[in-house]
Amino acid sequence: MITSNIQAEQSFESGSHLETLYQTVPHWREILAAVKAGHAEFVDLLADTGLLDRFGLATSTVHHYDEVEVHAFILAIVSAGRTDEIQAKSFLTYASHWIDDFFDSPDKVRDPGQLLIDRGDIRRALANMGPVGQVGFAMANRVRHPAAVYKSLHRMLYGGLVQRCLDYETRRILVDEYYTVATRFVDARLAARIRRLQPQVYWTTNKTVQELLYAAETEVDFDRAEVWNLIYGPALYYQDADQERASGELNFQDGEAPELPAMLDMIRLGARHLAPRSAGNRLNLLQLEFAALAIPNLPAEVVSAYREICAGRLPASPARITCEPDHEEAPQRTGSL
């Protein structure tokens, strides 16, 4: 088993810098230890399948590998005190970052045409990706709620399809299909409000997929996960948008890309649904506060919106929604390209 740090493949800016950042969070040492255990588990998976020798750990040309640890730490904050859950979330975080590069990087997608054909069935898409796709199946097998993992991977697949697409009309169809994939299991009233957002803005939630983390918990609340997707989507988009455009991983035309005012509208929509259920959850708000500090390249307006939420200054709330998740996977409808 490979459990050592593979420093040669990691681009850490400064261990002391990260440690200073982590120390702002209570119980940070316990959280970080469980995050590192999840990382070691992921490394073992790649080693056992031969994927470590073939592709390595750091597959992204857009962000440094140490940023994945920061993401894993952020996502673990709400699970403080539950080390097994944190380790599972860390494993999922590292695995999702790794496999995502085989969805969205033009240099790593083996058969773009096959991915497009398979887009209606995430399991078929993973199977046709060969050994790389087995990481997706391992993610689903790692948790109590595999349907949430498959939904997350399906969103990520659409993220890559849209990012790599060079044709405007095809991108429009894919962005429209993404709404159906992403609102699966979500209450119809929340989905209807999401439908009024700029479609490309909602598409940015393919980068957050909070249901992936809920899959490691006792229960999955797809509505609550979607609310946090709405809030965090802009942060994860802006973190890498410039680099992705430069590397050919983002191809929106002028006037088509997600617009900042519409991004703020999406954050506010999520915040309105937080009011009756999560405003008092100190770990969720601590997580958001830490994310605003740790994630680079955020517009000042996005940081300000996050601070408003953390301060409890939430927009007026709509009627509360509840949802009984359906764990059966149904076929997704896709348009004709």
* pLDDT beyond 70 at 166: yes
pTM to 2 decimal places: 0.87
Structure tokens that stand for 62 in this block: 């857009």
Residue 299's Cβ-side half-sphere holds a number of Cα atoms within 13 Å equal to 14
Q: What per-residue confidence (pLDDT) applies to 2?
A: 34
Q: How confident is the model at residue 62 (pLDDT cuts 50, 70, 90)?
A: low
Cα–Cα distance measured from residue 40 to residue 6, given in angstroms and rounded to the nearest whole number: 10
Q: Which of 30-34, 58-62, 114-118 has the lowest mean pLDDT?
A: 58-62
Cα–Cα distance measured from residue 284 to residue 310, given in angstroms and rounded to the nearest whole number: 9
Specify whether the CB–CB gap between 118 and 124 falls below 8 A: yes
Instruction: State the average pLDDT over residues 265-293.
Output: 82
Torsion angle in degrees (nearest 10) through CA of 231, 233, 239, 242: -140
**Coil, strand or helix: which one is 184?**
coil
* pLDDT beyond 90 at 283: no
Rg (CA), the chain: 19
Q: What per-residue confidence (pLDDT) applies to 337?
A: 60
CA 322 vs. chain centroid, Å, equals 23
The domains located in the chain, with CATH, are: 25-310 (1.10.600)
Instruction: State the average pLDDT over residues 275-295.
Output: 77
| pLDDT tens, position by position, 291-326 | 998 899 999 999 999 999 998 877 765 555 444 444
Q: What per-residue confidence (pLDDT) applies to 197?
A: 97
For residue 248, the tally of other CB atoms under 10 A from its CB is: 14
Specify whether the CB–CB gap between 320 and 277 falls below 8 A: yes
| pLDDT tens, position by position, 125-157 | 999 999 999 999 999 999 999 999 999 999 999
